[in-house]
Amino acid sequence: MLSIMKVLTRWLRHYLPALTVTDRQLADDLTLRGIAVEGVHPLGEGNGHGPATNGHLFEMDITTNRVDAMNHYGIAREAATIYNLELPPLHPRLPIGTLVDEPFSVRIDPSAKGLCGRFTAQVLHNVTIARSSGQVSEFFNLLGQKQISNAVDASNFVLLGMGHPTHAFDLDKIEGGIVVRLARKGEKLRLLDGTERTLEADDLVVADEKKALALAGVMGGWDSMITPETKNILVEAAWFDPATVRRSSRRHLLHTDASHRFERGADFNAAPLANALVSHLILENGGSIEGELVDIVDSDVARRTASRAPIELSVAQVQRHLGTTIAPEGITSEIVSRFLTSLGCELVLHGIDLYQVTLPSWRLDLEREIDLIEEIARVYGYNRFANTLPTALPVTDSPSATAERAVRQRLLELGFSEAVSSTFASQLDSDLFHASAAADRRPVEMENPLSEEASLLRPSLVPGMLTMLANNLNRDVREARLFEQGEIFTGTSAADAGFITEVHEAPQLSLGITTTSAPESRLYPAADAPIFELKAVIESLVSLFSVPGGPSALTFSTSGTPAWLEPGRSVVALLDNQPLASFGELVASERDKRKLRQPVYLAQLDLKLLYELPLRRVTAHDVSRYQAVERDFSFVLPDTVQFHTIAAAVDALAIPELQSRRPVEIWRDAKNHPGVYSLLLRTVFQSHDRTLRDEELTTWSQRIIDALTALGGTLRA
């Protein structure tokens, strides 16, 4: 994710006077270092090719993990690192405050323990509220920033300048001292935008002894805002827990500049400086300081943010990871030290080229040695590394790669198009389409899901197939044949664990058909054509593999079909009596819920069962020069006799000259002849070494008649 920010080059040069490169060069160099400048706009006179009168306005894309660069001083730090310049520190000059017997009261309620890691407060007396002038007004005019008053603008100026949110309260409207606490459920707070919000018990607020004054880290309150009549001000700068700010911001639909930074991890040590900068700007129009800065610090929060343990960095590891540069000297120890020091790290050398690196409080994105190595590469410039090939590693196919290619090629030949769906699924889809038959397998939940619709790793490919078919139908594509090969995921738990301890992956194939022009057939009604097409596809895929028992090992059953298929219009395919696939028409209730405009036919195959078999070796034979002979057999058979039983009985005769057997026509007369159907079976006989004789054909035909009669069939006259 990116954060769009406007940056003035005049402001950057104010922080970094030694910067001599042109604005255009600066934009290019920042972009090459990952601080992307997407637009460069001249301000004042200037043709865009040379320096403009007021410099340029940069439109920048800042990745959300780089909160430190979401301000002018942070970008000036990047420029100083790139050009090896010294960045002057920010040192606001404040007048000496009047002494007080007791400092202003600030306390953090036990309910907010860990949620407010730091709170600074400075009392200003006899201030003058007026329009901003000087540098604040000048820079805001160039940015197009709305100006309100010198007190409010000072807070916004410091936010854009050095990046830390602050807030100014009308001190005379505060009853007692400041209390940082959790809100009371149902408590009301009117915010600066004029809206009244009803707070929840986990909203963090800045309050006085009587009422809430601000939604912490998000927005100040109406009742304590600065007005033209304000004479005394309390300047606040704090550190608030990112998760708490994010929760309140989303709950109340308030995304502010302050919440944007607090949510991503503000600088714990920046609060005193930000407070002083705001106070300095307000006092430029008059006023005085009362007492010293109140600075309340939670040491536990400080340890995990500003005082993290040092990281050990090996220069040898830096060189190993980053490889060869176009400069002969490469990445040296001096370069490592200079870059990291300029970025705010403190390095202590111990041993040969081994550093202990203390991290700056404003870089919470740095956690490991590899993060520091990435920073060195980024600042050095990726364009300065030599183009070299990595050390060659052996590349081998996965054990199932050949089988996957064979399945994919066969499906493409059959007229299907390959599709790819999301790896994630919703809980509702998982409940309906969960493919695992094992009782101990359950869906795998994501720790940080993108949404409720993508909260699980998919336990089936069918939901994704339905989404893709729906996308086609919604775009008026009425004919679609899609397939997807992919992994599905299930999890198991250890006996003493209530959470998933092992995730299992399994290959699966999903087929989807939707059509408005099913072909006519003498074997089945047109409405059933897609179901029989799926059956034929499954048979074709199985024929790619050497199945023990031959084609007769594949059988079909109408029992045990899943709930997402229409009863009576769905089938389970069994391979050696193990479930291989389920296919049929999508159940009407699910079709209506998904607003599908026409019937949809689906198949779900367990590829693991197929991939355990070797691929069938394809052999070719010379075309016979002798004529083939057809023989048709018309039988009346019980409804319980399926065609795969008939095929198995005929194949079991092992007649070498029998080249094929297929049904030509099936018809029923349920009213006059219930419980039976008529089948016209066509066989083809052919020899590769002779012309067939009538007596041979008669013998083979009789054997076929006997086999079908044994199944309960009756030969039609």
Report the CATH number that the domain containing residue 156 is assigned in CATH: 3.50.40.10
Q: What is the CATH number of the domain that holds 497?
A: 3.30.930.10
Domain end marker among 23, 50, 83: 83
User: Looking at per-residue confidence, does 35 or 396 come out higher?
Assistant: 35
Contacts of 351 (CB under 8 A, 6+ apart): none
144-158, 189-203, 393-407: which has the minimum mean pLDDT? 393-407
Do 512 and 454 belong to one domain? yes
Give the strands of the sheet with 714-715, arranged side by side.
658-667, 676-685, 629-638, 714-715
Report the distance separating Cα 192 and Cα 420, nearest Å.
48
Q: Which residues pair with 6 in a beta bridge?
A: 59
The percent of residues in the chain predicted with pLDDT above 90, rounded, is 77
User: In the predicted model, is pLDDT for residue 45 greater than 80?
Assistant: no
Residue 405 counted as domain residue: yes
Give yes or no: residues 653 and 606 share one domain.
no
Q: Specify the range with the lowest mean pLDDT, choosing from 225-234, 367-376, 501-510, 514-523.
A: 514-523
Residue 653 domain-assigned (yes or no):
yes
What lies within 8 Å, CB to CB, of 96 at 6+ separation is: 289
Task: Answer whether residue 50 shows pLDDT above 50.
Answer: no
Q: What are residue 572's DSSP bridge partners? A: 557, 582
Domain match, 502 and 595 both:
yes
Same domain, 50 and 178: no
- Both tokens of 366, joined, read 């740095």
CA distances from 456 to 441, 492, 566 (A): 14, 14, 26
Domains of the chain: total: 5
Of the two residues 703 and 672, the one the predictor is more confident about is: 703
Rounded Cα distance between 526 and 423, Å, is: 35
Q: What does the pLDDT average to over 306-330?
A: 92
- Going by C-alpha positions, the residue among 301, 116, 107 that lies closest to residue 203 is 116
Give me the helix-helix angle, 315-322 and 369-380, nearest 10°: 60
DSSP-derived 3-state class of residue 167: strand
CB 571 within 8 A of CB 561: yes
289 plus 235 within the same structural domain: yes
- The answer to whether residue 186 sits within a structural domain is yes
| Long-range Cβ pairs for the range 199-206 (8 Å, 24+) | 200/251, 202/244, 202/247, 202/248, 203/247, 203/248, 203/251, 204/112, 204/115, 204/116, 204/180, 204/240, 204/241, 204/244, 204/245, 204/248, 205/180, 205/181, 206/167, 206/178, 206/179, 206/180, 206/236, 206/238
**Confidence grade of residue 47 (pLDDT, cut at 50, 70, 90):** very low
**Contacts of residue 429, Cβ cutoff 8 Å, sequence gap at least 6:** 458, 460, 463
Beta bridge partners, 294, equal 121
Mark whether 320 and 301 lie in a shared domain.
no
- pLDDT at res. 1: 42
Average of per-residue pLDDT across 50-75: 88
Q: What backbone phi and psi angles, to 5 degrees, belong to 521?
A: -155, 150
54 and 110 inside one domain: no
CA angle in degrees (0–180, nearest 5) for 600-603-604: 135
Where would I find the beta strands (DSSP E) of 443-553? 444-445, 456-457, 480-492, 502-514
Give me the amino acid identity at 689: D
466 domain-assigned: yes
Residue 254 belongs to some domain of the structure: yes
Contacts of 555 (CB under 8 A, 6+ apart): 573, 574, 577, 642, 644
Residues 626-647 have pLDDT tens digits of 999 999 999 999 999 988 889 9
Give the rounded distance of the alpha carbon of 253 from its chain centre.
22
Residue 670 predicted with pLDDT over 60: yes
Both structure tokens of 133: 């002038």
Q: pLDDT grade, residue 390 (50/70/90)?
A: low
Mean pLDDT of the chain: 91
Please, what is the angle between helix 72-83 and helix 23-32, to 10°? 90
> In 411-547, which ranges are E strands?
417-418, 424-425, 444-445, 456-457, 480-492, 502-514
Residue 142 region, left (φ>0) first, then alpha (ψ -120 to 50), else beta? alpha
The predicted structure's pLDDT at residue 41? 93
First to last CA, the chain: 77
Task: Please report, to the nearest 10 degrees, the dihedral formed by the alpha carbons of residues 571, 573, 576, 578 taken in order.
Answer: -80
Domain range spanning residue 324?
Answer: 311-379
| Residue written as token pair 């008059």 | 286
Q: CATH number, domain at 683? A: 3.30.70.380
Same domain, 458 and 520: yes
C-alpha distances in Å from residue 35, one per residue of 19, 68, 342: 17, 11, 16
**Domain end among 577, 611, 645:** 611
| H-only helix segments in 324-386 | 333-342, 369-380
Q: What is residue 353's predicted lDDT score, i.e. its pLDDT?
A: 86
φ and ψ at 484, to 5 degrees?
-140, 130
Tokens read off for 510: 């999903």
CA–CA dist 284, 291 (Å, integer): 18
pLDDT of residue 715: 92
Radius of gyration of the CA atoms of the chain, in A: 38
Are residues 513 and 530 in contact, defined by beta-carbon separation less than 8 angstroms? yes
Asked, for residue 394, whether it belongs to a domain, the answer is no
Residue 218 pLDDT level (bands cut at 50, 70, 90): very high
The DSSP code sequence of 176-232 is SSEEEEEPPTT-EEEBTTS-EEEPPTT-EEEE-SSSEEEETTTEEBSTT---TT---
334 and 269 co-located in one domain: no
Q: How confident is residue 22, by pLDDT bands cut at 50, 70 and 90?
A: very high
Both tokens of residue 405? 């290619």
Are residues 125 and 279 in contact, defined by beta-carbon separation less than 8 angstroms?
no
What integer pLDDT is reported at residue 143 of this predicted model? 93
**pLDDT tier, 396 (very low <50, low <70, confident <90, very high otherwise):** confident
Residue 332 token pair: 């040296």
Closest CA to 227 of 152, 289, 163, 175: 152
Asked if residue 294 is part of any domain, the answer here is yes
Q: For 557-612, how does the pLDDT look when each residue is reduced to its tens digit (9 = 90+)?
A: 999 899 999 999 999 999 999 999 999 999 999 999 999 989 999 999 999 999 99
Structure confidence at residue 441 (pLDDT): 78
Band (391; pLDDT cuts 50, 70, 90): low
Question: What's this model's pTM, rounded to 2 decimal places?
Answer: 0.61
**Based on the domain organization, do 644 and 707 belong to the same domain?**
yes
Domain's final residue, options 244, 273, 305: 305
* Average pLDDT of span 137-149: 94
Distances (CA, A) of 612 to 21, 343, 497, 616: 65, 56, 32, 12
Tell me: do 569 and 709 sit in the same domain: no
d(CA 647, CA 663): 10
Strand 346-349 and strand 354-358: the pairing is: antiparallel
Assigned domain for 524 exists: yes
**Cα–Cα distance, 28 to 338 (Å, whole number):** 21
Domain containing residue 50: CATH number: 3.30.56.10
Q: What token pair was written down for 32?
A: 């090459």
What letter represents residue 685's amino acid?
Answer: F
Segment of 319-323, 429-433, 701-705 carrying the highest mean pLDDT: 701-705
What pLDDT does 68 receive? Answer: 94
Q: Collapse the DSSP code of 397 into the 3-class scheme (helix H, G, I; strand E, B; otherwise coil) and give the result.
A: coil
Judge if 132 and 149 occupy the same domain.
Answer: yes
Whole-number pLDDT of residue 439: 60
Q: Quick check: 433 and 464 in contact, CB under 8 A?
A: no
